[in-house]
Structure 1
Amino acid sequence: MADEEYFRGISKIPYVAGAGAGNVLGFKYYNAQEVLLGKTMEDWLSFSVCYWHTFRGTGADPFGFPTLCRPWDDGKDSMETAKRRMHAAFEFFTKLGVKYYTFHDRDVAPEGSTLEESNRNLVEITDLALQLQKKTGIRVLWVTCNLFAHPRYMNGAATNPDSHVLAYAGAQVKKGLEIAKKLGAENFVFWGGREGYLTLHNTDVAAELRHMANFFKMAVAYKEKIGLKCQFLIEPKPKEPCRHQYDYDAMSVIGFLKHFGLDSHFKLNIEPNHTTLAGHSYEHDIVVASAFGMLGSVDSNTGSPDLGWDTDQFPMDIKNTTMVMKSIVEQGGLQPGGLNFDAKVRRESTDLEDLFIAHIGAMDAFARGLRNAVKIIEEGVIAQMVKERYLSFSTGIGQKVEEGTATLEELEEFTMRNGEPKITSGKQEKYESIINHYL
């Protein structure tokens, strides 16, 4: 099993600058050791492959059966299958040249008939993962627990109206935190897939939010108890599968964390496909989270806004990647977070090489976005325009507002003395034209 090659005919993906359009099995822009603003591309981007889509994805959707038949799967969710899958995953990571991977607990090990059996399976499979990590140098960007797929979680996990279900979720997270420490995970993610409601008629919103906050406080306490050194992350999503999820968007999560005194323990893992589902622009939640010092990591994917649901496509739009990387570079990087490809090949992309082509294309898209972002920041044209737009807050009454010392009486006095404000153009088209210059 350990010696079996699953991706035959594909060797380590090279950097081939200047290669033609048809060369899709080589990086045209992602040069891992290229230095930009004092960091290598590899460090700025910290790419990660997700386990669930890449190695567990079947191509099934609500309207069709599985289309993706992988050589490591035999149709049985057995421990032997899980071990083959783990070897295939590390072969893929190594050939692609990434340093990180991410997984849910139930991605890597089959769920047993009892919690004890599930835990034994997880320990055994992560023993193998640890061996392969030591052999290859590949690390875990983050671990998370699947608290949404099993029928027990159909009414939520941390927000379930049944405390027995909440207790089961807590036990599952306890083991997940222990596994995160065992594997040296740099982050631990909470995604509340069913933490929300389908109707308000049977929902006590205040109680559910309070229970979720207390659940997170228990996780923080256990993290500290076992000496787990990683960043906790929450991933916002507005809807689907719930009609409304409590972690609606970045601002909702930040407000929740601050209200319950958890903001010093958590940052956000932003998925742009979720951001667009909330009705925002692609980079909105990344910009907002970064503005509050809460941007911890990015689930790098995109969606089809015309469809209206979460399609988890690979990010190939250079403008989108440029705007994401601009925020990341401006805050000095993501570490200990990274860019995790929470994306799946289309159900019609059935060849094994399509897994490589998709990741290579997305990595190149982010490499181009990084180079564009660095040039935008180095030349400073946009930054200077923004600075000038807010210049009135650097002196006089504006400075007092900025510092939080102004009063309404002073604002009235200033207005009486200076009259009607001058209308100032927002110059939106100018900004858009300048951004296009860098793409």
Structure 2
Amino acid sequence: MNGYFDGIAPLKFDPNSSELAFRHYDPDEIVLGKRMEDHLRFAVAYWHSFAWEGGDPFGGRTFDRPWFSDSMEAAKAKADAAFQLFEILNAPYFCWHDADIRPEGATFAESRKNFEAIIDLFEEKMATSRTKLLWGTANMFSHRRFMSGASTNPDPDVYAWSAATVKLCLDATHRLGGENYVLWGGREGYETLLNTDMGQELDHMGRFLSMVVDYKHKIGFKGQILVEPKPQEPSKHQYDYDVATVYGFLKRFGLENEVKMNIEQGHAILAGHSFEHELALARELGILGSIDMNRNDYQSGWDTDQFPNNVPEVALAYYEILKAGGFTQGGTNFDAKIRRQSLDPVDLVAAHAGGMDTCARGLKAAAKMLEDGVLEDMRKERYSGWQTPEAQSMLGADLVTVAARVEAEGINPQPRSGRQEILENIVNRYV
């Protein structure tokens, strides 16, 4: 088979090009003392880019990819196409689920054999490619066996199958030098409380995650274990609802120092938050690990997983990431898919190029805001009253002492402007 992306040259940084090129993403540009590529750490998502067939809730497959069949030959052809795209994009990283890369077998052993053969192929390809593995994960939500969850399933055999699957995928991630391992509980929740023992399911989920962490240390995996929050879809309610919910779960099981967050823009919106809210909270809690970069269509009530194209939104996200010190082992994974009417190979290349340019613009705007310090100076000034000895002493006092001070000093506070519009205007100067 000829290369799927034949005829498409590797993309270069050329702001004035009339051809397909990067116009803002220059991997070698220095931003806050670090190369742009090392800040952004882009990853191509194997599932949306190569496994998704172009369906939506009301229609099936629209894409016609030469590897769309359940055979090992097709899986190998898919890997050939993937690494060809990685080369065109000069992508630093990629990510996968087990089900993305191998055909399903009739038994676990057969699926494992198929999976390990593709991991062998990946290892061979990665030996001559600059593209590394950002993270691996297990798909424990698509197959019908997971319709009632994976670690939270009422059937102990499904729990066992899920544990074996995660072990297999974590072993492979470790073998390929992956820098993270992600768990997303797509079915870890419920459709109705009428048939759900929530306490038992949460206990099982906590035990399962503890086993994953223990195994990470047993095999010497140095990557981060990440949980990806999402509020619903496909489940009515998922236990990993948002960053705050997951943090409470981690605290309950003593895992807050072992597990961090992989935060997705689209999931943050579905939870009723902004992306920057989830990032800021994870930063404050010390659990910001990595991100999935995409966007939702705000006219649709569901997770459309589109490539990012909103620079102001992206800039505010990277502002929070830079405030956290930037990525260490995490990165920017494009958990995004082209539209089901975008049928050609070049559409997939252009989507990534546009997303990478959007992130580059957002990163530079965020870096400039942070460097100039205007937002942080105004934030500091707003809370400056807390720097006085009297204010600090209240934080160690009891309620009676604080109340007595109000009357003794005749405290009569007057409201002060939060200056929201001024701050929004300042952000707009950068984006």
State TM-score, norm by structure 1.
0.96
Native 8 Å contact 1:156 1:196 kept in 2: yes
Counterpart of 2:427 in structure 1 is 435
Distance 1:349 1:100 in 2: 24
Pairing 1:358–2:356 present: no
Counterpart of 1:239 in structure 2 is 232
Q: Residue 409 of structure 1 is aligned with which of 397, 400, 412?
A: 400
CA RMSD of aligned residues (A): 1.2
Deviation (angstroms), 1:394: 1.2
Native 8 Å contact 2:141 2:147 kept in 1: yes
Counterpart of 1:54 in structure 2 is 49
Deviation (angstroms), 1:367: 0.4
Q: Deviations over 1:172-199 (max 9, x none)?
A: 1111111111111100000000000111
Deviation (angstroms), 1:24: 6.1
Distance 1:129 1:62 in 2: 32
Counterpart of 2:198 in structure 1 is 205
Tell me, what secondary structure is at the counterpart of 1:210? helix
Native 8 Å contact 1:277 1:305 kept in 2: no
Pairing 1:106–2:99 present: yes
Q: Counterpart of 1:9 in structure 2: which amino acid?
A: G
Pairing 1:285–2:283 present: no
Distance 1:406 1:356 in 2: 60
Distance 2:120 2:48 in 1: 22
Counterpart of 2:215 in structure 1 is 222
Tell me, what secondary structure is at the counterpart of 1:291? helix
Native 8 Å contact 1:33 1:41 kept in 2: yes
Distance 1:267 1:364 in 2: 27
In the alignment, structure 2 segments of 5+ residues that lack a partner are: none
1:320-339 counterparts in 2 under 5 A? 320-339=313-332
Native 8 Å contact 2:90 2:131 kept in 1: no
Native 8 Å contact 1:24 1:360 kept in 2: no
Q: Counterpart of 2:414 in structure 1: which amino acid?
A: K
Distance 1:35 1:223 in 2: 35
Deviation (angstroms), 1:114: 0.7
Tell me, what secondary structure is at the counterpart of 1:148? coil
Tell me, what secondary structure is at the counterpart of 2:231? coil
Q: Counterpart of 1:49 in structure 2: which amino acid?
A: V
Native 8 Å contact 2:179 2:224 kept in 1: yes
Q: Deviations over 1:134-174 (max 9, x none)?
A: 11121100000011111111000011111111111001111
Pairing 1:421–2:413 present: yes
Tell me, what secondary structure is at the counterpart of 1:369? helix
Distance 2:194 2:277 in 1: 32
Q: Percent identity?
A: 47
Tell me, what secondary structure is at the counterpart of 2:213? helix
Q: Deviations over 1:367-405 (max 9, x none)?
A: 00011011101111111000000111111232235xx42
In the alignment, structure 1 segments of 5+ residues that lack a partner are: none
Q: Deviations over 1:64-99 (max 9, x none)?
A: 12111123x2x4210000001001100100111111
Distance 1:24 1:287 in 2: 38
Deviation (angstroms), 1:259: 1.4
Tell me, what secondary structure is at the counterpart of 1:135? coil
Distance 2:389 2:219 in 1: 52
Native 8 Å contact 2:264 2:275 kept in 1: no
Q: Counterpart of 1:261 in structure 2: which amino acid?
A: G
Tell me, what secondary structure is at the counterpart of 1:175? helix
Number of aligned residues: 430
Pairing 1:38–2:22 present: no
Distance 2:78 2:397 in 1: 62
Native 8 Å contact 1:397 1:414 kept in 2: no
State TM-score, norm by structure 2.
0.98
Structure 1 stretches of at least 4 aligned residues deviating more than 3 Å after TM superposition: none
Distance 2:19 2:41 in 1: 21
Q: Residue 396 of structure 1 is aligned with which of 361, 380, 389?
A: 389
Tell me, what secondary structure is at the counterpart of 2:85? helix
Distance 1:199 1:65 in 2: 28
Q: Counterpart of 1:289 in structure 2: which amino acid?
A: A
1:3-402 counterparts in 2 under 5 A? 4-19=2-17, 23=18, 25-71=20-66, 73=67, 75-401=68-394
Tell me, what secondary structure is at the counterpart of 2:128? helix
